[in-house]
Amino acid sequence: MRPSLNTGTWRRVLMSLKKSELTEKLNELKRRMKNKQEDIAQEWKIAQREWKVRQVKLKNDLKKTGDELSVGWDEVQEKTKAKVDDWLDKLDAKELEELIGHFREDLADLEPLPENAVLRRLPARHPMTMSLEETLLKRSTHRDFSGETIAEDLLASILWACDGVNSKNGKRTTPSAMNWQDVSVYVVQANGIWKYLPKRNVLLFVEGNDHRGDFGEIKPWLKLASQHLVFVSDGRKLETLATKLVDKAFDVNLAVGEWGERVRALNVGVKIQAVYLACAALGVGCAYRLLINETKARQLLKLTDSEKIMAICSIGDRPESLLDHTI
């Protein structure tokens, strides 16, 4: 006859069995984790070896490519030097002297002045404290003007914004392709026509009397603008020593044709945008346009054959109603 087991004894037996099963399962899990770690370690070693092989291959490929580029660049330099040397041998001494003279003129600290020049010094600029975001939000075209003259410090700020000097090394507030600086700004106002000289921060007298009506086509109110800013591009300034060398070396004339016209338009365009932003920040009206009939305007500005009127920006006081117009 088997001895009987009480309830407490059965509980202990069952607990012992469960503990044994849990221990076995835990050991099995440990073995699997160890095997997985060994597999991962092995895969990592393989990946490291493959990466080292790739690094060596990449290094060799880069060295090969660099050697090929170096050889190609050396060939380009030799051909360029040969073409430039050949051109310099054939270059007319007078032409070279003229190019160097233009280069020295552009690098001069101050613009050269004609004989008996009459200058009008601009006052301190009116501060522009409006944020760029707010200025862009307020930028707009205003073709109606009251006829009232804007303060001269506002004009000084607008001229500086579009073509002023903003650093000690002579850099301008607006960019210019290849640093040609081919664009000049003329100011047509009640007391005559003036040319802005950014390095000197002055206005150079060009022509007397009020000729704003000769630059205010299309709409009558444009003749009531305080000033017309006339943007003139000088094609002569595109004929630099650098463009001559590029032309002779690579048979690409950057100064003439469609490419040159595009660049001249871009150089004017950035200045016009600067005028618009300055006018928005200062609360001044602004409208840009082309000149339909520029024959008389060219005579008044005393332009040479290489100079071209690219655009006009009319600026002035903005009327709140028709009653604000001064006629």
DSSP sequence for 198-222: TTTTEEEEEE-S--GGGG--SSGGG
pLDDT band at residue 125 under the 50/70/90 scheme? very high
Overall CATH class of domain 93-324:
alpha beta
The dihedral formed by the CA atoms of 132, 135, 141 and 142, expressed in degrees to the nearest 10 = -150
User: Looking at residue 250, what is its pLDDT?
Assistant: 67
pLDDT of 215 higher than 70: yes
Enumerate residues 6+ apart whose C-beta is below 8 A from 42: none
As a whole number of angstroms, the longest Cα–Cα distance in the chain is: 142
- Rounded percentage of the chain residues whose pLDDT exceeds 70: 76
Q: Do 138 and 279 touch, CB atoms closer than 8 A?
A: no
Contact present, 177 and 267 (Cβ < 8 Å): yes
State the DSSP H helix or E strand holding residue 166, giving kind and residue range, or none if neither: none
The answer to whether 185 touches 229, Cβ cutoff 8 Å, is: yes
Mean pLDDT value of segment 107-122 = 88
| pLDDT tens per residue, range 251-283 | 777 777 888 899 899 999 999 999 999 999 999
> Distance between CA 240 and CA 233 in Å, rounded?
15
DSSP secondary structure letters along 2-68: PPP--HHHHHHHHHHHHHHHHHHHHHHHHHHHHHHHHHHHHHHHHHHHHHHHHHHHHHHHHHHHHHH
**Where do the domains of the chain lie?**
1-78, 93-324
Residues sharing a CB contact under 8 Å with residue 32, sequence separation 6 or more, in sequence order: none
For residue 312, pLDDT over 70 is answered with yes
Q: What's at 33, amino acid-wise? A: M
Write out pLDDT tens, residues 160-198.
999 999 998 889 999 998 888 999 999 999 999 999 999
Task: Give per-residue pLDDT as tens, 50-80.
Answer: 888 888 888 887 777 766 666 566 676 676 6
Residue 299 in this model has a pLDDT that exceeds 90 = yes
pLDDT at residue 21, as a whole number = 75
- Provide the pLDDT for residue 69: 63
Mean pLDDT, the chain, whole residue set: 84
Residues 6+ apart with CB under 8 A from 136: 277, 280
Using only the alpha carbons of the chain, give its radius of gyration. Answer: 38
Confidence band of 124 (pLDDT split at 50, 70, 90)? very high
